[in-house]
C-alpha cells in the first residue's frame, strides 16, 4: 500500500501542495487529476522519492520511504513529464544506459529493449538519435525506460502527451495490465477522458489541495453528476472557459 500522508511542499515562499493525503493499493490505478499548476508533478515527484516534501511523509507498506530512499527508487518506475533525454544517444543506447543503472543483466536487457522497441513500433528507428525522434517516439522511450526493471510501483506524469491514437490505446491497456499484474499505478494527468477510462480511483487537485478523492463511480454518485467531466467542472474549473478562450483570442489579436 502506498500512503501519502499530509504532504506539503514549498518552493521558496510558494506552497505547491498543501496537506495532500491519499492512498493507493496494489492492483489499483490511482489517477491524479488537476489543471496545470495544481501540483500534480510535485506530488508524483515526491512519491517517486525524487523530491523531498517540506513536511508530511510517503509510506509504502507502512514504512516512510526516507528510511531507505535507494530501496524505494529501485521499486519505482517513473515516467517523467518532459521528454528531456540524452538527445545524442539512440533509443537503444539510452535504454541500455538506464537498464545498466538498474543493474539488469546485459543479455536480459538486450532482449527487453528489443521487445519494447518492437511492441512500441519504433524498432525500425533504433539507429536514429533521440534528437531526431518525434515527441511521441521519445515518450515511448521514456515509458520503456520506466518499466524495464519491472517496478512494483509505477508513477507516470502525463505520459499520454504527444502520443498518437494507436499508442494511446496501447498505453491505456498497458496501464490496466500493470495494475492487473499487482502493481501500484499512480497516473497524473489533466486529461479527464484518459483518467476516467483507466483509473479506478482519482484524487483531484486544485491549487495544491485535494479537492476530492474517491473511487471514480463514487465521485459521480456523491456529486450527483452523470460523468466525471461534470464532477471535474464543478470541482476544478473556477474560470469560465468561454471567457478564457475569448480572452486568449483577444490577446492573440493585440
Ligand atoms: P502541475 O504538474 O499540476 O502542472 P506542478 O507540481 O508542476 O503542477 O506545479 C505546482 C506549482 O508549483 C506551480 O505553481 C508551479 O509554478 C510551482 N513549481 C513547480 N515546480 C517548481 C520549482 N522547481 N520551483 C518553483 N516553483 C515550482
Ligand atoms: Mg506537471
Q: Running DSSP on this structure, what letter comes out for residue 117?
A: H
SS3 content of the chain, % helix, strand, coil (to 5): 45, 25, 30
Ligand 2: centre distance to CA 157 (Å): 7
| Ligand 1 in reach of 34 Cβ (< 6 A) | yes
Helix axis angle for 165-180 and 135-147, nearest 10°, is 10
So what's the pLDDT on residue 251?
59
So what's the pLDDT on residue 217?
82
Ligand 1: centre distance to CA 204 (Å): 16
Chain position carrying cell 538506464? 98
Count the Cβ atoms, other than its own, within 10 Å of residue 38. Answer: 23
So what's the pLDDT on residue 85?
67
Of 144, 163, 134, 165, residue with least CA distance to 92: 144
Average pLDDT per block of 10 residues along the chain, 254 residues long: 97 96 96 92 96 97 95 93 79 94 92 88 92 88 90 91 79 87 93 87 93 83 70 64 59 58
So what's the pLDDT on residue 83?
63
Q: Which residue from 37, 80, 191, 206 has its CB within 8 A of the most atoms of ligand 1, so it is best to mutate?
A: 37
Alpha carbon distance 220, 181 (integer Å): 27
Of 77, 99, 79, 104, residue with least CA distance to 184: 77
Amino acid at each position: 500500500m502506498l500512503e501519502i500522508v499530509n504532504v506539503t511542499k514549498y518552493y521558496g515562499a510558494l506552497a505547491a501542495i498543501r496537506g495532500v493525503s491519499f492512498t493507493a493499493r496494489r492492483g489499483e490505478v490511482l489517477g491524479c487529476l488537476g489543471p496545470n499548476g495544481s501540483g500534480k508533478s510535485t506530488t508524483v515527484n515526491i512519491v517517486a522519492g525524487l523530491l523531498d516534501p517540506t513536511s508530511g511523509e510517503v509510506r509504502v507498506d507502512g514504512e516512510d520511504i526516507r528510511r531507505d530512499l535507494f530501496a524505494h527508487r529501485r521499486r519505482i518506475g517513473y515516467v517523467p513529464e518532459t521528454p528531456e533525454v540524452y538527445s545524442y544517444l539512440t533509443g537503444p543506447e539510452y535504454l541500455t544506459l538506464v537498464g545498466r543503472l538498474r543493474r539488469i543483466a546485459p543479455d536480459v536487457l538486450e532482449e527487453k529493449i528489443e521487445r519494447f522497441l518492437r511492441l512500441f513500433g519504433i524498432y525500425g528507428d533504433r539507429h536514429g538519435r533521440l534528437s531526431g525522434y518525434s515527441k511521441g517516439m521519445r515518450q515511448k522511450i521514456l515509458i520503456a525506460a520506466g518499466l524495464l526493471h519491472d517496478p512494483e510501483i509505477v508513477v507516470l506524469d502525463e505520459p499520454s502527451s504527444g502520443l498518437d491514437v494507436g499508442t494511446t490505446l496501447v498505453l491505456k491497456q498497458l496501464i490496466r495490465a500493470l495494475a492487473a499484474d499487482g502493481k501500484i499505478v499512480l497516473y497524473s494527468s489533466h486529461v479527464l477522458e484518459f483518467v476516467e477510462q483507466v483509473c479506478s480511483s482519482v484524487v483531484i487537485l486544485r491549487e495544491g489541495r485535494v479537492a476530492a478523492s474517491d473511487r471514480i463511480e463514487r465521485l459521480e454518485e456523491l456529486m450527483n453528476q452523470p460523468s466525471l467531466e461534470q464532477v471535474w467542472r464543478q470541482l476544478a474549473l473556477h474560470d469560465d472557459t468561454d471567457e478564457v478562450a475569448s480572452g486568449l483570442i483577444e490577446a492573440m489579436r493585440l
